[in-house]
Structure 1
Amino acid sequence: MTTTKLNEVGQQAQIAAHQLALMATTQKNLALQALATQLLAEESEILAANQLDLATAKANGLRAVMLDRLQLTHARLATMAAGVQQVIQLPDPVGTVINGWQTANGLRIENVRVPLGVIGMIYEARPNVTVDAAALTLKSGNAVILRGGKEAIKTNIALAGALQRGLVAAGLPATAIQLITDTSHETAQALMTATEYVDVLIPRGSAQFIDFVKAHAQVPVIQTGAGNCHVYVDQSADLIMAREIIINAKTQRPSVCNAMEKLVVHQAVAAEFLPRLQQALAPYQVELRGDETALQILPTITPATAADWGTEYNDLILAIKVVPDLSAAIAHINRYSTGHSETIVTKDYQASERFQREIDAAVVYTNASTRFTDGFEFGFGAEIGISTQKLHARGPMGLTALTSNKYHIYGQGQIRE
C-alpha cells in the first residue's frame, strides 16, 4: 500500500470517527444488529474464504494449534455474531459523566467519557479479532483500521466486506471499519507511525510480535496478549479439582493467550499429584517438562531449561516447577509472569487472599481455569484485547477501555485573578 493510499484510509477514518462520536446509542445499536445479521447472511462466503486460508496455511506448515486459531466454523461464526448482539445490550459509555463538582469560584466541572477516535488494530491469524474490534469500536464511537496477518487475509476480506455492507445498510459510512489488505511489513510499520491519523494502536499476537510493534510504533500502543499463565497447586488443594482445572486450562485451546503454560506445585503434594496428572494428560498428548524435583517424581519427562520458564508455548507443552511453600510460588510466578492470568488452587482462605494480593497480573484466580480471561466470559460481549500493561487499561478490554475523557466546564463569566 502506498503512503498516499494509507493517508486516504486515515483521513476517511477520521471523518467517520467524528460522525460516530456524535451518534446516538439507538443508532449505533441498530448498526450493530445489521452487522450481526450480515455476518450470518454471508456465512457461506466467509467460511469458503476461510477454507482457502486454511489450505494455504497447511501447505506452509502452520502448526496444528495455530490452524485451530485460524479456523472458522458455523459454530464459531455464530458465536462471533452473538458477541456483536451482546454488545448491543451493554451500556454505552460515551457521554457518561464520570464525576462532577463545583469549585470555590462557582465553576461547574464535569468529567465526561468520549471515544478515543481512530483505533489501529494490527493482529496475526485471528479472524475473530476482525469482528470483535468492529463491534466494540462502533459501540464506543470509534473508527477502526484493521491490519490482519497474511494467514487470514481472505477470511478477513470476507468478514470486513460483510461488516461494511452491514454499516451501509444501517446508513453509516463503510469507512468506519476499514481493512488494509496489504499484509507486508512495510504497511504495518507505516500504520505504526501514522500519528496524524491514528490515536491508539492495539497489537494482538505473540510476545515477539507485540515487542516488535512496541519497538517501532510512534502511535501510542496498548500492550496486549502475551500469556505465560501459571496454575499453582497449593498444599491444601482439592487435587481432583486441580487436575480438572489444569486439563481445561492447558488442553481446551492451547493456542490462545489465556491457556495455561506453567504448573507450580507445592512439594507436600507433588509426589501424590504429579503421577496422577501425568496419566490424566496422556490422552491429550501434552509434553511435560520439569525441574529437578519434578524429574525425580516423573523420570520419563523432559528436563526444563532456563528458557522454558519464560516461554509462552501456545502448544501442548507444560513445564512443571516444584516449590517448598507459597512464598516461593509467588516469587517464581511474579518473576516469569507476563502479567496476564494466574491461578491458585487451594482450600486455604488465607493462602488464596495472599496470592490474590501479591501476584502482579491483570487477572488472578482462586480455584478456576485461566481460560475465563476473556471479554465474552466477563460479560463485555467481546474484547478488543487483553491488556497486560497498567496504562491505560488492564485485563480484558471492553467498551469503557475504548474511551478517554474530557472536561466540560460551565461558568458564569468567571475570570482568573
Structure 2
Amino acid sequence: MKLLHTDIKNKVLQSMIEILDRERTNIIDANKKDLEAFNRDDQALYDRLVVNNKKVDEMIAAVDAVMHQEDPVSQEISNLTLKNGLNIVNTTAPFGTILIIYESRPDVTIEAAVLAFKANNKILLKGGKEALNSNLILEQCWHEALETHGLSKDWIKLLHLQREETQEFLKNPTEPLDLIVPRGGERLINFVKTHATCAVLVSGRGNNFLYVSEHADWAKAVNVIINAKTDKISGCNALDKVLINKNLPEYQTKLKMLQEKLEQHKVEIIVDDKVSGILSQKETIQDAGIWYEEFLALKLLIAEVESLDEAVSTINKYSGKHSAAIITEDKAEAMTFMQQVDSAAVYHNASTRFTDGGQMGVGAELAISTDKLHHRGPLGLNQLVTNKYYVYGDGQVRV
C-alpha cells in the first residue's frame, strides 16, 4: 500500500468518529443480536462481547486519541554519514499487511484498525463468529470513512472465514502477509504458530501472579489482590495466583482475613496443601495443571512459599509472562523481584490491572505482547512500525 499523508489519514479518522457517533444505535442493536445468540456459560467471553453506549464512547475516544498522536511513519531513528560519503538514514516504516485474529471483542475491530491504519498498514480482521453482527456494522463504518476520502476499502477488511478456511489461509495466504497477531488463548496461539508462514507476534494469555512478602503492608496487599482479581475478570491482566510468604507476621490470621474478603466478593478460592492446613474448608489443588491455567473467572489460587527465590522460581515456571506483582515495603527486595521475574510488566505495590495501553500511557493498543521481539507489553501506535534504511550515495562502490 502506498504511503499516505498524515492529513488524509487524520481526515479518515475524523470521519470515523462522526460515523460511530451517528451509528451508535445501529451498532448497539447489531450487538444485541450477537448477545442473544451467545451462550452465557462463558461469562468472561460474554463480558468482552457487550457493546453499549459506554463502549461506543470508548471506541470514539480511541479513534480520537490515535488521530491526535504523531504519525509514527517516516520518523528518523538515526542519521550517519560515513567516511566514504555514504549517508545512512534509518527511519520507521509500515509493516505492510497485518492479520489479527481475535475472539469476542468488537472494540478490537476499532482499536486494531485505527492503529494499523494510522501506521500506514493494511489490516485484515478475523473476529470470532460470536461477534459477527457487531463486526459487520463496524466494518461498514470503516469502509464509509475510507471511501469518503477516496481510499480503497482494502485498507481495513474483515475476513469471513471458518476455522478450516482460516487454517488454509494461514498456510497459503491469497495475499502477502507481513505480521500475524493472534489475540486469545493457548489454543488459538498454537493454531496460528502451527500454520502461519510469516512472522507471528503473540498476544499471550494472562495467568498473572502476585507475591506477598513477609515485609508487605497487609492492607495494601489485600486492596491490590481484591482489585486485581475482581475489577474485570475477563481482562488478560486479571490476577490468577497469589503466593504468600509463610514468615509474614500473623500469617494464619491474615490468611483467614483474606479468605473473608475474597468471599465477600464471591471469589472461589483454591489452595495448596500448606495453605489448606489453615483454610481447611477450601478446595485443594487436584491437578498440577491448574498452575498453568488462566481462570477468567472469580477464582483465585492461594499458595504458600518460603522465600523470594521460591516465589520468583514458581512465577517463571508457570505464569503466562504477562504481568506479575510483589507487595513489599522493602525496595531492594522489590527490585530483585522485578529484575528476576520474566514478565512483560512487573509491579511493586500495585495491581496487575494496569497492564493496558491506555493505563500505561501508550494509548489504544493492538494487543499485549508477551513476545520479546520486536516489542513486549502494550502494542500501541509506535509499535506498529518496523524500520528501513535509506542509503544516499554518489557512485560509491565497496572495495
Superposed CA offset, 1:151-192 (max 9, x none): 11111111111122122223322221101133x112221332
1:8 corresponding residue in structure 2:
none
- Secondary structure of 2:247 counterpart: helix
Give the distance between the partners of 2:376 and 2:88, measured in 1 at CA: 27
Question: Could you tell me how far 1:145 is from its partner in structure 2?
Answer: 0.7
Question: Could you tell me how far 1:351 is from its partner in structure 2?
Answer: 0.7
Q: State whether structure 2 residue 331 is matched by structure 1 residue 349.
A: yes
1:120 corresponding residue in structure 2:
99
Q: State whether structure 2 residue 268 is matched by structure 1 residue 290.
A: no
1:311 corresponding residue in structure 2:
293
- Secondary structure of 2:310 counterpart: helix
- Secondary structure of 2:61 counterpart: helix
Amino acid corresponding to residue 75 of structure 1 in structure 2: K
Question: Could you tell me how far 1:381 is from its partner in structure 2?
Answer: 2.2
1:7 corresponding residue in structure 2:
none
Q: State whether structure 2 residue 9 is matched by structure 1 residue 31.
A: no
**TM-score normalised to the size of structure 2?**
0.96
Give the distance between the partners of 2:44 and 2:201, measured in 1 at CA: 26
Of the structure 1 ranges 113-122 and 200-209, higher mean CA displacement relative to structure 2 is found in 200-209
Q: State whether structure 2 residue 46 is matched by structure 1 residue 67.
A: yes
1:109 corresponding residue in structure 2:
88
1:330 corresponding residue in structure 2:
312
Give the distance between the partners of 2:191 and 2:145, measured in 1 at CA: 34
Q: CA RMSD in A?
A: 1.4
Amino acid corresponding to residue 162 of structure 1 in structure 2: C
Give the distance between the partners of 2:327 and 2:7, measured in 1 at CA: 44
**Contact between 1:87 and 1:380, CA under 8 Å: does it hold in 2?**
no
Question: Could you tell me how far 1:255 is from its partner in structure 2?
Answer: 1.5
Q: State whether structure 2 residue 193 is matched by structure 1 residue 214.
A: yes
**TM-score normalised to the size of structure 1?**
0.92
Question: Could you tell me how far 1:356 is from its partner in structure 2?
Answer: 1.1
Amino acid corresponding to residue 219 of structure 2 in structure 1: I
- Out of 241, 246, 253, the residue aligned to residue 232 of structure 2 is 253
Give the distance between the partners of 1:79 and 1:225, measured in 2 at CA: 23
Question: Could you tell me how far 1:196 is from its partner in structure 2?
Answer: 4.4
Give the distance between the partners of 1:272 and 1:24, measured in 2 at CA: 63
- Out of 254, 261, 269, the residue aligned to residue 280 of structure 1 is 261
1:147 corresponding residue in structure 2:
126
Superposed CA offset, 1:73-126 (max 9, x none): 111111121011111222211001111212221111011100000111111111
Superposed CA offset, 1:241-276 (max 9, x none): 111111111111111211111111111224232211
**Contact between 1:195 and 1:219, CA under 8 Å: does it hold in 2?**
no
1:404 corresponding residue in structure 2:
386
- Secondary structure of 1:268 counterpart: coil
**Contact between 1:144 and 1:177, CA under 8 Å: does it hold in 2?**
yes
2:158 corresponding residue in structure 1:
179
Amino acid corresponding to residue 272 of structure 1 in structure 2: T
2:166 corresponding residue in structure 1:
188
Give the distance between the partners of 2:255 and 2:57, measured in 1 at CA: 39
- Out of 76, 79, 82, the residue aligned to residue 97 of structure 1 is 76
Give the distance between the partners of 2:17 and 2:255, measured in 1 at CA: 46
Amino acid corresponding to residue 328 of structure 2 in structure 1: T
- Out of 69, 72, 81, the residue aligned to residue 60 of structure 2 is 81
Give the distance between the partners of 1:211 and 1:62, measured in 2 at CA: 24
Q: State whether structure 2 residue 363 is matched by structure 1 residue 393.
A: no
The alignment covers a number of residue pairs equal to 395
Question: Could you tell me how far 1:401 is from its partner in structure 2?
Answer: 1.6
Give the distance between the partners of 1:271 and 1:173, measured in 2 at CA: 64
**Contact between 1:235 and 1:268, CA under 8 Å: does it hold in 2?**
yes
Of the structure 1 ranges 102-111 and 115-124, higher mean CA displacement relative to structure 2 is found in 102-111
- Secondary structure of 2:304 counterpart: strand
Amino acid corresponding to residue 339 of structure 2 in structure 1: R
Give the distance between the partners of 2:231 and 2:174, measured in 1 at CA: 40
Residue segments in structure 1 that go unaligned for 5+ positions in a row:
1-17
Give the distance between the partners of 1:407 and 1:112, measured in 2 at CA: 6
Amino acid corresponding to residue 413 of structure 1 in structure 2: G
Amino acid corresponding to residue 128 of structure 1 in structure 2: D
Residue segments in structure 2 that go unaligned for 5+ positions in a row:
none
Question: Could you tell me how far 1:24 is from its partner in structure 2?
Answer: 1.6
Amino acid corresponding to residue 253 of structure 1 in structure 2: K
Give the distance between the partners of 1:125 and 1:45, measured in 2 at CA: 18
Amino acid corresponding to residue 47 of structure 1 in structure 2: I
